[in-house]
Amino acid sequence: MHPIRKKRLTIVLFLLVGVSVAVALTTYALRQNINLFYDPSQIAAGEAPVDVRIRAGGMVEEGTVQRDPESLKVEFKVTDFTSSVLVEYTGILPDLFAEGQGVVAMGRMDGNGRFVADQVLAKHDENYMPPEVNEALEKAAGKRAAMPGATGESSAGY
Amino acid sequence: MWQIFHKLGSPKWFFGIASTLMPWLLVAGAALLMTGIVWGLVFAPQDYLQGNSYRIIFIHVPSAFLAQSVYIMMAVAALVTLVWRMKLADVFVTAVAPVGAVLTFLALFTGAVWGKPTWGTWWIWDARLTSMLILLFLYFGVMALGAAISDEKSSARAVAVLVLVGVVNIPIIKYSVEWWNTLHQPATFKLTEKPSMPAEMWVPLLLSVLGLYLIFGWLACLRMQTHILAREGRTRWVKELVQAREN
C-alpha cells in the first residue's frame, strides 16, 4: 500500500479507537441511568433509592396477583427468581400482563419495601410460537409434573 | 484484486455495471419481499401470546436490520473515501443516507405501533429505542452536512469523518438489549444459535430481509447513477451517453 494511504488508514483507525474508548467510558459511567429498571435483587440489596421515581422490572410471580374486587387496585410480586418485591398498582393493566410474564413498573418505593406503581408495562421475550405448540408444551409439562416421583420444577402450579 | 478495486472507482464503469444489475435486483428483490410479507402477514401462524399483533415483525425487523446494515456499508465507504479518496465511495454515502434514514424511521414507527398494544406504551427511553433514535439523527446529520458544504472534496471528507464517528453507535444498538436492562426483548435471530421461533415464522421473515436487501441494492444503484450523472455532467462519456439516449 502507498505510504500516504497507510498513514491515512492509521489516522482513521486511531480516530475509531479513540471514539470507541470515549463512548465506552461514557456509557459505563452512565450505566445506572441507561438501565431502564432495577431488578428485585437490586431493590432487596437496597440499591434502589426510596421515594424517588424509579422503574422496577422482573417476572410476575405465579399465584401472587391479587385484585381488589371493589376497585382497579392490583397487588402482585415481581421476582427475578432470587428475590421478589411487592408491587401495588391502581389502573388498567396491558393485555400481555399475566402471571409468569415480564413487566416493568414505574413508581416509587415506600419505606416498607413496597413498590407503589403508577404505570405498568408488559415486557415480552424473544420467543414466538404458534398457540398449538404452546398448548402441547404446557400439556407435556403438566404430565411431567403429575407423574409420581417427577423431579421437574412443580412451582409452575398448573 | 487491486485492479478491480480501482476499476470500481471509475464512475463510468460503475454506471454500466449498475444498469445491467438493476433489473435483476428489482425483480428478485420484489419477488422475495412480496413472498415474505404476504406469507408472514397472511399465512404464518399466530403467536401464542401476542396473537396477530406480532405480525408487524415482518416489517419491523427487515427495516431495523437494513437500517443498521446500510450504516455499516456507509462506514466502509467512508473509510475508502478517507484513505483512498475514491469518488464513488462518497457518491454511495450521499446517495444512500436518505434511504437509511427512511428505513430507521420505519423501524421506529413500526416499533411504536407494535409497542402500544404489547408493552402498553408508544415510546420509552430504553437503551435500544434511544440508540435507534440516535441512528436516525446520525442519518439526518450526514445528509445535512453533505448538503451544507458545496465543495465536493471537503464535503466528502467531512461526511466521511462523521459517518465513521457515528459507527460506534451500531454495536451499542446491537448489544443494548444485553448490556443494560431494557423493555425491548433480546434478538430472536442469533448468529450462533437457532432462531427462537419455528420455521413457518422465521422463513418468511428471512425472505423479507433478503428481499429488502436486494431492493436496497436496486435503490442504491438507481440513486448512485443519478448522483453520478449530476456530478459528471461535464465529462465526455456522460455527454455521449445522453446523446445516444436522445437519438
Q: What is the pLDDT of residue A144?
A: 65
Cβ–Cβ < 8 Å for A77, A85:
yes
**A-chain residues near B84 (CB < 8 A):** 5
In this structure, are residues B47 and A130 in contact, taking their beta carbons and an 8 Å threshold?
Answer: yes
Express each pLDDT in B115-148 by its tens digit: 988 888 899 888 999 999 999 999 999 999 999 9
Give the residue from chain A lying closest to B166, CA to CA.
A19
Nearest Cα of chain A lies from the Cα of B192 at a distance, in angstroms, of 15
CA B131/CA B231 separation, integer angstroms: 34
The dihedrals phi and psi of A157, each to the nearest 5 degrees, come to 75, 25
Phi and psi (nearest 5°) for A79? -130, 155
First to last CA, chain B: 38
Residue with grid cell 446520525, as numbered in its chain:
B138
Pairing of strands A73-79, A66-67: antiparallel
Average pLDDT over residues A80-85: 87
Tell me: pLDDT of B104 over 90: yes
- Ordered by start, the domain boundaries in chain A are 1-30, 34-122
The CA distances from residue B81 to A51, A111, B150, B157, in Å, are 53, 59, 17, 7
Percent of chain A topping pLDDT 90: 12
What pLDDT does B2 receive? 67
Give the pLDDT score at A39.
85
Domain layout of chain B by residue ranges: 18-181+205-246
Is the pLDDT score of B206 beyond 70?
yes
Query: Which residues of B make CB contacts under 8 Å with A?
Result: 45-50, 54, 57, 79, 82-84, 117-121, 124-127, 161, 164-165, 167-168, 172, 179-183, 185-188, 196-198, 200-201
A124·B165 Cβ contact <8 A: no
Residue B91 in this model has a pLDDT that exceeds 90: yes
Amino acid of residue B210: L
CA atoms within a 13 Å half-sphere pointing along the CA-CB vector of B134? 18
* Confidence (pLDDT) at A23: 92
- A146 pLDDT above the threshold of 80: no
CATH code of domain A34-122: 2.40.50.140
Q: What is the ipTM of this complex?
A: 0.76
A56-95 residues touching B, CB cutoff 8 A: 57, 93-95
Query: Confidence band (pLDDT; 50, 70, 90) for B61?
Result: very high
Model confidence pLDDT, tens digit, residues A27-73: 888 887 778 888 888 888 888 888 888 888 888 988 888 888 888 88
Burial group, residue B109, by CB count within 10 angstroms (0-12, 13-18, 19+): middle
**Cα separation, B74 vs B193, whole angstroms:** 28
Residue A121 has pLDDT above 50, yes or no: yes
